[in-house]
Structure 1
């Protein structure tokens, strides 16, 4: 049954207060009202309830200045221990598990080297259960509840029905994973494309506040993309929208990890760049199908130092990106195209031919005023985005559970 409008408004205002405290950190009640368009009386009432439920706490009053007037502001903040979420990033031969607290801060992180391509769907589920169990045994005693789990995956996923449709990290397809984890851990489980997790972090940055229609392209082992329309990720009918890396550059061209030929990824991803370079250059030893960061840094340095073969390879990658971005501009007319990911290390070697390809493909009117920028990959934003998305999806459940516990 739907809540009466007054109760719905109260619930929405309470969630707005929680999320503002998460975004802003400690805030005075009067400032919370101004930030959310809520009356002071409503903020006071909401904060009183949240204090009683243990979801927020008060900081000691600020020390007044000798010449100051009036009482100093008392700041309120989220109780970091009120809940936690787990984010697992699944990529080729690696699983990263991160625990975030109720404020959205990372409290624990671990990496596991796993031969992901040898796992069956059941093997993966068992492995994830084991890793989450171990983390909960170690950390959950410090939190009131495990609110949710986010699984961030390279490849195509259906968030709606919790299915990994296809991933270059896995040998199986169409595996329903969310329902099993939900049953095991009795909490909400989100299944997200890794590029959407990254886009959620970038979209929240003040530098991009004026870009509600935004495209984020992630370069790395593969190539991912997230399309935000009015700030909301566009997922498509089954979650496979925005697969930029698997749109075509050269029909019947280079072999892609998806098994088809001519994809943009087959020219501009790490494995494609390294594959092309290995035929002509002396590069560090390693797995050429899954090049390491050291191998990719060596290749990038050759291009930046003027090696003709390396420069040609990066130029071709830039042209593939440019053709793809030109199609994005014509189809979506976004405010911003933002290029990031670990593969952005080679962006300087690609961007001249990328821009030339865009100019060659589009009339000026179709290119319009869209900004095309790169964003440094100084930290992996995937798990930070997964934590934020899991918290945002479960704040209502945490609020309801804390209210029920208080009334019991």
Structure 2
């Protein structure tokens, strides 16, 4: 929207209206005002502009009230085809591409098996360009514009510079990736840590609305964490903050995928659990360095059914996790620590040792009122978070583009 640089409140109000519609779907104008603390006149003016620009649509009025009193409310909603974003999740030997519409819903998803560890930085850039180009050609018909791209990566990334610093999915380090993609596709490109994408989805859920200071720990092939302070992700100087999995549990201990020893990840991740079990238990065949879900389910079931070796391995994982959480509680004093990710399949086998370790590490005063909970991993929230983050980052540009197109 072509707004004077001094009219920031108007832009802020417009963005608030768009994001409320994205979060809640169809809403009446009067309710938008109440939800955002905006006058009815301002909401009416903003919605008129958004209608003209093709960013929202009106739904038929609600059913008339039985009393016949008062006009039924007319609901407005985002036009899902006004813009779209593409989110790419990069993980070990796989990339997933998802198209999200302007309302934040997934319109297309595809997976590709890729030997990521064999790629150079140039190979990865070329591959991403190829896959995004194909998705754009095949799936973006009907959308008014491609607003942005989000690349969600396991590991350490710098969102500010668009650089993948280190990822267990890749054999190279310190590769700038965003600039080339932005130039190729003429849109904003966000580079995000996958745990931050997941945390953004969870933080928006009503169940956690009272937890502005939220820590999300993701268990899976690796161990990730996102720290939200007053609702804002804490990234650190170069984006490497909150690397929980690579904080130390035992100096000179088990080997971690990062190349160092004794990290929490070296005891609690899927590859660490399977590595500790492979020589002692009969497990499904496969790549022991990158265990499949079938392999991990088999190991988890052994622990849950009482196999002493499997129970010992999961107890050690829970102990490492617990001492790590104790450090998080002492450093950040969050409202809630929420544990999720595919690795929560084994949480029941870990949690007793985890809680014992926390109690051993902390006096009660440092534990405070912080809650520790786990969240089922019944859907992969990475791309959903990437879609929302990309849309929120590009809404202002979408407003400007739509205003320019209307005036052309």
Query: 2:177 matched to which residue of 1?
Result: 177
Q: Mapping of 1:197-216 within 5 angstroms? A: 197-216=197-216
1:368 Cα shift? 0.6
Give the whole-Å Cα distance in 2 for the aligned partners of 1:282 and 1:294: 13
Count of residue pairs the alignment pairs up:
407
1:252 aligns with 2:252: yes
Query: 1:55 matched to which residue of 2?
Result: 55
Query: 2:349 matched to which residue of 1?
Result: 349
SS at match of 2:282: coil
Query: 1:101 matched to which residue of 2?
Result: 101
The 10-residue stretch of structure 1 (177-186 or 135-144) with the greater mean CA deviation from structure 2:
135-144
Report the TM-score when normalising by structure 1: 0.99
Q: Mapping of 1:137-216 within 5 angstroms? A: 137-216=137-216
SS at match of 1:141: coil
RMSD: 1.1
1:288 aligns with 2:288: yes
Q: Deviations over 1:53-100 (max 9, x none)?
A: 000000011231443311100000000000000000000000000000
1:311 aligns with 2:308: no
- Do the aligned partners of residues 402 and 157 (structure 1) sit closer, same or farther apart at CA in structure 2, a change above 3 Å counting? same
Q: Deviations over 1:12-33 (max 9, x none)?
A: 1111100000001000000001
Q: Deviations over 1:342-389 (max 9, x none)?
A: 000000000000000000000000111100000000000000000000
1:35 aligns with 2:57: no
Q: Mapping of 1:107-126 within 5 angstroms? A: 107-126=107-126
Query: 1:132 matched to which residue of 2?
Result: 132
Query: 1:68 matched to which residue of 2?
Result: 68
Give the whole-Å Cα distance in 2 for the aligned partners of 1:85 and 1:194: 17
SS at match of 1:271: helix
Give the whole-Å Cα distance in 2 for the aligned partners of 1:259 and 1:382: 26
SS at match of 1:142: coil
Query: 1:381 matched to which residue of 2?
Result: 381
1:3 Cα shift? 4.1
Q: Which runs of 5 or more residues in structure 1 are unaligned? A: none
Q: Mapping of 1:258-297 within 5 angstroms? A: 258-297=258-297
Give the whole-Å Cα distance in 2 for the aligned partners of 1:4 and 1:254: 55
1:406 Cα shift? 1.1
Q: Deviations over 1:80-133 (max 9, x none)?
A: 000000000000000000000000000000000000000000000010011110
SS at match of 1:249: coil
1:333 aligns with 2:344: no
Query: 2:227 matched to which residue of 1?
Result: 227
Give the whole-Å Cα distance in 2 for the aligned partners of 1:397 and 1:305: 55
Give the whole-Å Cα distance in 2 for the aligned partners of 1:263 and 1:282: 26
SS at match of 2:378: coil
Query: 1:302 matched to which residue of 2?
Result: 302
Query: 2:87 matched to which residue of 1?
Result: 87
1:4 Cα shift? 4.9
Give the whole-Å Cα distance in 2 for the aligned partners of 1:227 and 1:322: 17
Give the whole-Å Cα distance in 2 for the aligned partners of 1:340 and 1:136: 32
1:139 Cα shift? 1.8
